[in-house]
Amino acid sequence: MKKYLKVWWLYTINSFEVQLNVRWGLILFLFAKILRFAAFAFFLVVLVSSTKVLAGYSLDQVILFFLSFNLLDILSQLLFREVYRFRAAVVSGNFDFYLIKPLNPLFRSLFTGADLLDFITLIPLLLAVAYFINKLQVVGMINLVGFFLMLLVGFLVALSFHILVLSLGILTTEVDNAIFIYRDLIGMGRVPVDIYMEPIRGLITFIIPVGIMMTFPAKALMGLLTWPLMIYAVLFVSFLLYLSLKTWQFAIKRYSSASS
Amino acid sequence: MKKYWEVFKITWQQLLIYRVNFALWRLRTILQLLLVYFIWWSVFQSQDKVFGYTTASILTYVLVAALMRAVVLSTRVTDMIDSINSGNIVNFLIKPLGFIRYYLTRDIADKLFNIGFYIAEVSLLILLLKPPIIIQTKLPVLIPFFIATLGGLVIYFCINFIVSLTAFWVENSWGPLFLMSVFLESLGGGLFPIDILPKPLFDILMLTPFPYLIYFPAKLYLGSMSYSEIISGFSIIFIWITVLVALMRVSINAGFRHFSAVGN
């Protein structure tokens, strides 16, 4: 464990240094990310200020859903950024080097490209979440425990999805857009999944667990999530994680080296 | 002309090589459409009119904005960045192929390919969701709509071209492209009609080229713009096209003068 933490730290420092090489590009990316976040938040404020509610939720609640989505999205991008470069490693044959080193190839493929920009944006986001928790007067300890439990579940769903994308990258090098499909799917959770009509709502809550990832944490915090649903979420993510690890093992056995 | 027809055919063949990849790309556009569609659908479950829009007008806006994204925003121009970075751009110096015309042909091929899929997907969505939409049949509305779409297409082509050309000078051109795509999504009308924003902000945005790629054509389609708004919109489109085409030509010349290639 200590060895992996040290390796992660070294890769993270290295990744940050590479990003800092093109500083003006970094500033543009940072500005664009902040603009994207601010524009959507502004849209929600303008919209819900006029309509008073969105799918039965007040403005503060809708903002909390949006912040909760961003928290998980940024955290998974911060930690799993290397997945976005994985296909290139497979196609070029560089994945061979992942396999011959005394380091778990799954760890190498998932965690070794931390993104500095996401780290920078994570801090104000955490402050904003704390502000809205305070504003909504969430005082119950059970609510807070439920919130952190559902955040952990959401994070594990994200981890499982990323492992599945890596596996897909090995099995079929044809797929460039798989990770972006994941991004668009979870993007549907920027607002509470209650806005969608059935059967889409059921589909993205229970089958493709966008609802579990993005809506459940905020609902747990507001005391709107029942215990059976929390238990369902924990069982679901356990199965999904198991399935993704099995898929990874299946895929890696079928890897054949590429390039010259 | 024949050689550009060959470029057109090759572009379609390239799009068909990675079919799963293309299918996933189309799935992405559907998911993006569903998010925007359902936010507005949800709003109108409890209200009849919001920001001056009815259910039919806003859902029509969302679908037409999605069409604009398929027509205007699909592009192959950004391939130029890799071409400059790898040095493959020298091909244009030694082959009888127009630089702008080559990328314009590829762009048109890409757009036509995407439009076909958009029509099939939206037809399916309309069948499944049965939204109340406005089918525009008035020619005095449809003609300006098509002209504005064409204007948006030219503006987007020029902006992408100019930003991609920065690869002649800088290592990483993806930063400006990403920023531009965020501007477009957020402030170009992709997510919401920008006239719901406070008036001063709306007026400022209308002076930039971004609303003319999605918002302006989609709003024209609804047929709810005044003559003065239409004339003002087309004037700004004309000014932006003139400025951007000039800037594009200057940038191409400056870029090739700056470019140097080594190797065997």
Q: Which of B21, B175, B185 sits opposite A29 (nearest CB)?
A: B175
Span A37-58, average pLDDT:
85
Span A215-229, average pLDDT:
88
Span A22-48, average pLDDT:
85
Domain that holds residue B13: 2-258
Q: Is residue B263 included in any domain, yes or no?
A: no
Contact B145, B221 (CB under 8 A): yes
Q: With an 8 Å Cβ cutoff, are A22 and B174 in contact? A: no
* CA nearest to A78, candidates A86, A70, A87, A88: A70
pLDDT for the residue numbered A119: 84
Q: What does the pLDDT look like over A139-150, one tens digit per residue?
A: 678 888 999 999
A171 touches chain B (CB under 8 A): no
With a CB cutoff of 8 Å and minimum separation 6, the contacts of B230 are B144, B220
Give yes or no for residue A178 having a pLDDT over 90.
no
Nearest-Cα distance to chain B for A177, in Å, is: 6
Model confidence band, residue A258 (pLDDT cutoffs 50, 70, 90): low
Helix count and strand count (H, E) for chain B: 11, 2
- ipTM entry: 0.79
Nearest-Cα distance to chain B for A142, in Å, is: 30
Q: Is residue B73 included in any domain, yes or no?
A: yes
Q: Is residue B46 included in any domain, yes or no?
A: yes
Choose, out of A18, A33, A47, the residue to mutate when testing the contact with B (most B CBs < 10 Å). A47
Name every chain A residue with its beta carbon within 8 A of the beta carbon of B181. Answer: 32
pLDDT for the residue numbered B146: 93
Name every chain B residue with its beta carbon within 8 A of the beta carbon of A180. Answer: 24, 28
Model confidence band, residue A51 (pLDDT cutoffs 50, 70, 90): confident
Q: Is residue B199 included in any domain, yes or no?
A: yes
Residues within 8 A of A (CB atoms), B 196-215 only: 196-197
pLDDT for the residue numbered B264: 55
pLDDT for the residue numbered A174: 63
Nearest-Cα distance to chain A for B1, in Å, is: 33
Q: Is residue A259 included in any domain, yes or no?
A: no
Model confidence band, residue A244 (pLDDT cutoffs 50, 70, 90): very high
Q: Of A184-188, A209-213, A256-260, B101-105, which range is least confident?
A: A256-260
Q: Which of A33, A53, A180 sits opposite B28 (nearest CB)?
A: A180
Q: Which is more confidently placed, A155 or A54?
A: A155
The residue of chain A with its CA nearest to that of B176 is: A28
Model confidence band, residue A259 (pLDDT cutoffs 50, 70, 90): low
Domain that holds residue A42: 2-253
Low-confidence ranges of chain B (pLDDT < 50): none
The residue of chain B with its CA nearest to that of A24 is: B175
Q: With an 8 Å Cβ cutoff, are A181 and B50 in contact? A: no
pLDDT for the residue numbered A251: 92
Q: With an 8 Å Cβ cutoff, are B186 and A40 in contact? A: yes
Q: Using omega within 30 degrees of 0 as the cis cutoff, is the peptide bond preceding A199 cis?
A: yes
Two tokens at A258?
Answer: 């590429």
pLDDT for the residue numbered A149: 93
Q: With an 8 Å Cβ cutoff, are A175 and B24 in contact? A: yes
Rounded distance between C-alpha atoms, residue A177 and residue B20, angstroms: 9
Tokens 């920001």 belong to residue:
B51
* CA nearest to B217, candidates B163, B149, B138: B149
A100 touches chain B (CB under 8 A): no
pLDDT for the residue numbered B87: 81
A203, burial (CB in 10 Å: exposed 0-12, middle 13-18, buried 19+)? middle
Choose, out of B43, B180, B191, B199, the residue to mutate when testing the contact with A (most A CBs < 10 Å). B43
pLDDT for the residue numbered B51: 85
Tokens 């993510």 belong to residue:
A237
The number of domains in chain B is: 1
Share of chain A above pLDDT 70, in %: 97
Q: Is residue B160 included in any domain, yes or no?
A: yes
The residue of chain B with its CA nearest to that of A169 is: B21
Contact A147, A221 (CB under 8 A): yes
Q: Is residue B264 included in any domain, yes or no?
A: no
Q: Of A151-160, A168-177, B26-35, B194-203, which range is least confident?
A: A168-177
The number of domains in chain A is: 1
Rounded distance between C-alpha atoms, residue B210 and residue B186, angstroms: 10
Rounded distance between C-alpha atoms, residue B32 and residue B39, angstroms: 11
Two tokens at B71?
Answer: 């027509």
Q: Is residue B177 included in any domain, yes or no?
A: yes
Q: Which of A40, A174, A190 sits opposite B18 (nearest CB)?
A: A174
Residues within 8 A of A (CB atoms), B 8-27 only: 18-21, 24-25, 27
Q: What does the pLDDT look like over A15-31, one tens digit per residue?
A: 888 878 777 778 888 88
pLDDT for the residue numbered B263: 63
Q: Calculate the CA B116 to chain-centre distance.
A: 16
Nearest-Cα distance to chain B for A215, in Å, is: 14
Average pLDDT over chain A reads 86
A53 touches chain B (CB under 8 A): yes
Predicted TM-score of the model (pTM):
0.83
Nearest-Cα distance to chain A for B146, in Å, is: 28
Rounded distance between C-alpha atoms, residue A74 and residue A115, angstroms: 9
Beta carbon pairs, A and B, within 8 Å:
114
Give yes or no for residue A214 having a pLDDT over 80.
yes
Give yes or no for residue A39 having a pLDDT over 90.
no
Model confidence band, residue A89 (pLDDT cutoffs 50, 70, 90): confident
Q: Which of B178, B186, B196 sits opposite A46 (nearest CB)?
A: B196
B49 touches chain A (CB under 8 A): no
pLDDT for the residue numbered B203: 92
pLDDT for the residue numbered B243: 96
